[in-house]
């Protein structure tokens, strides 16, 4: 589903003209596949549709085993199709990314692993999904900073654009603080095991990313190292938290 969402985003941004104006970097400005001529716009649209059609039957299969999953699948499908044409024109853009790439996968994975077929929410599940949600939102947030001019010219109206590059860079720092606080808080409350604090190991890298974003928010090329650092923060932090859960399971 994530592959489908990315392809839909590429297609819509090309049709709308955003990717024709943006100065692309390795982590911003879209994939560049249409702009470079590697793929046609119709090929990208086909990729988006086909990957979604592959994902949906898989989701429906697991829904047959765990009926409550259908709501997660429907939410994911909505975010997939509505993200670029609708949600990027609202201040919910980054939140929708956090939900689609953070909350829904964590919840869906948890529900699939249930053996009873009955979906049970827990405070631990909510706390586990929260830092992933915020980190995914932050990933999109910082990647949008170099694209502000192109996004404004082609009708996007997300929070980063409305704030402007300087305030958005500081906003990214706030998101990072929230993400790490949401790792520490449930451990202090006794909801999650102490081993989940392994997620804090990426904090030095996040600090570098924040400093780089604040310093270079108006320089598309200079901000790239911060984008790369943030990518690894968003990728590695949830893995470390999952490792902490596994260690807890194996040692208790």
Q: Where are the domains of the chain?
A: 2-251
**Residue located via tokens 């040692």:** 251
> Which residue in 143, 174, 173, 176 sits closest to 160, CA to CA?
143
User: What would the mean pLDDT of 98-120 be, rounded to a whole number?
Assistant: 81
Residue 119: per-residue pLDDT:
63
**pLDDT class of 231 with cuts at 50, 70, 90:** very high
Extract the runs of DSSP E, i.e. beta strands, from the chain: none
Write the CB contacts of 63 (distance below 8 Å, at least 6 apart in sequence). Answer: 69, 70, 73
Whether the Cβ atoms of residue 209 and residue 230 lie closer than 8 Å to each other: yes
Q: CA separation (Å) from 212 to 87, 172, 217, 230?
A: 28, 11, 8, 10
Asked if residue 52 lies in contact with residue 118, where contact means CB atoms within 8 angstroms, the answer is no
First to last CA, the chain: 36
Confidence at 132, pLDDT banded by 50, 70, 90: very high
For tokens 């990314």, what's the residue? Answer: 97
Quick one: pLDDT at residue 57?
86
Q: For residue range 138-187, list pLDDT tens digits in order.
A: 999 999 999 898 888 888 888 999 999 999 999 999 999 999 999 999 99
Residue 218, pLDDT above cutoff 90? yes
Distance set, CA 195 to CA 45, 132, 181 (Å): 43, 16, 15
- Whether 14 shows a pLDDT value over 60: the answer reads yes
């Amino acid at each position: 589903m994530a592959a489908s969402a990315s392809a839909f985003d590429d297609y819509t941004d090309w049709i709308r003209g955003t990717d024709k104006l943006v100065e692309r970097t390795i982590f911003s400005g879209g994939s560049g596949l249409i702009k470079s001529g590697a793929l046609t716009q119709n090929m990208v649209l086909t990729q988006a549709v086909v990957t979604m059609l592959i994902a949906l039957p898989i989701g429906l299969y697991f829904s047959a085993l765990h009926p409550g999953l259908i709501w997660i699948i429907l939410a994911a499908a909505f975010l997939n199709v509505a993200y670029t044409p609708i949600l990027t024109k609202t201040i919910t853009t980054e939140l929708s990314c956090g939900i689609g790439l953070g909350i829904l996968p964590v919840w869906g994975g948890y529900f699939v692993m249930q053996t009873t077929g009955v979906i049970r929410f827990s405070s631990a599940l909510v706390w586990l999904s929260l830092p992933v949600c915020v980190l995914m939102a932050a990933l999109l947030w910082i990647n949008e900073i170099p694209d502000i001019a192109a996004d404004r010219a082609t009708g996007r109206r997300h929070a980063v654009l409305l704030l402007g590059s300087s305030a958005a860079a500081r906003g990214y720092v706030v998101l990072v603080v929230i993400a790490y606080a949401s790792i520490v808080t449930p451990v202090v409350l006794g909801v999650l095991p102490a081993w989940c604090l392994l997620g804090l190991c990426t904090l030095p890298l996040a600090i570098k990313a924040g400093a780089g974003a604040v310093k270079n928010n108006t320089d598309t090329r200079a901000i790239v190292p911060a984008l790369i650092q943030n990518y690894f923060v968003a990728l590695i932090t949830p893995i470390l938290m999952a490792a902490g859960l596994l260690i807890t399971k194996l040692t208790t």
